[in-house]
Homo-oligomer: A and B are copies of this chain.
Amino acid sequence: MSDAGAARIGGPADEVPPIADTSGIREPTTRRGARTRATLVAAARTVFERDGYLTARLSDITAEAGCSIGTFYTYFTGKDEIFAAVLEAAQDDMLHPGMPHVADDDDPAAVIEASNRAYLVAFRRNAKLMALMHQVAAVDPAFRELRRRRGRAFAERNARRIAELQQRGQADPGIDPLQASYALSGMVSRMAMDQLVGEGADLEELVTVLTRLWINGLRLTDRSGEPAR
């Protein structure tokens, strides 16, 4: 899962840094344990999305999960750790946002549009969780750092793609690729956060305007040198 909010122009998804070091410790051994843990994670997501991270009490989570407080501590050390687990569990859904794999020689404008749509669709599907991540990042430095690292990974990938387009003469050479990548990715993710949380903004409208701003912003042209679109 990522709030990097960006048109991911190709590239493998596994460059993305892992969410947290929940490595090995307190991993349930038995099937029963795994089930309980999963129940807790699901309950946590429900409660967090309903009450917010700060307001949520551990006892709310265990009540929702139908187990005791003690059981919570069998699997997690605290609220932050189970939140990390919630993110981890949601990650798959966010990492594979159904983005159509597009060949490099395709129309770059089409790739950008597809990427933006994919991102926004995935975002909307997990809107509450994204907003939650936003809140937690504002409150907990560890998650803030996580978010930063993820954002950087996405921005760098996109920056490489922009640089390629510049080299081929298909994008404005007067723009710093990395900074532009940050700016445009940030634009998309900020729009998603502002318009897709709570309100039911028209997603296609967002795709249209954001894609247009990406393409215009980079002065993207197709192979023939004509302005894209």
Q: For A195, what are the chain B residues with a Cβ–Cβ distance below 8 Å? A: 182
In the assembled complex, which residues on chain B have CB atoms less than 8 Å from the CB atom of A172?
212, 216
A139-B138, A174-B212, A213-B217 known; A205 vs B179 contact (CB < 8 Å)? yes
Judge whether A194 is part of the interface by a CB distance below 8 angstroms.
yes
Bound form: Cα–Cα A205–B182 in Å? 13
Give per-residue flags for A108-142: 1 if the beta carbon is below 8 A from chain B beta carbons, else 0: 00000000000000000000000000110111000
Say which size band chain A's interface belongs to: 20 to 34
Q: Which of A141-178 contact B (CB under 8 A)?
A: 151, 172, 174-176
When distances are taken between beta carbons in the complex, the residues of chain B under 8 Å from A194 are: 151, 182, 186
Judge whether A219 is part of the interface by a CB distance below 8 angstroms.
yes
A218 at the interface (CB under 8 A from B): yes
| Chain A contact surface mostly | helix
Q: Which residues of B contact A174 (CB under 8 A)?
A: 212
Instruction: Specify which chain B residues have a CB less than 8 angstroms from the CB of A186 in the assembled complex.
Output: 186-187, 190-191, 194
In the complex, are the beta carbons of A175 and B135 less than 8 A apart?
no
**A34 interfacial by beta-carbon distance below 8 Å:** no
A210 within 8 A of B: yes
CB-CB < 8 A to A191: which residues of B? Answer: 182-183, 186
> Taking the complex as formed, is A180 at the interface, i.e. its CB lies under 8 A from any CB of chain B?
yes
CA–CA, A213 to B213, complex, Å?
8
A206 contacts chain B at the CB level, 8 A cutoff: yes
Say whether A47 faces chain B, with CB atoms less than 8 Å apart: no
| A20: interface (CB < 8 Å) | no
CA–CA, A137 to B134, complex, Å? 10
Q: Is A184 in the interface zone, CB < 8 Å from B?
A: yes
Tell me, yes or no, whether A63 is within 8 Å of chain B by CB: no
Quick one: closest B residue to A172, CB to CB?
B216
Q: What would 7 more interface pairs be, CB under 8 Å, given A135-B139, A180-B209, A183-B187?
A: A134-B138, A151-B194, A175-B209, A176-B208, A176-B209, A182-B191, A183-B209
Please, could you name 19 A-B residue pairs with CB atoms under 8 Å apart, sorted by A? A54-B139, A134-B138, A137-B138, A139-B139, A151-B194, A172-B216, A175-B212, A175-B216, A176-B209, A179-B206, A180-B209, A182-B194, A183-B210, A186-B186, A186-B187, A186-B190, A186-B191, A216-B216, A216-B219
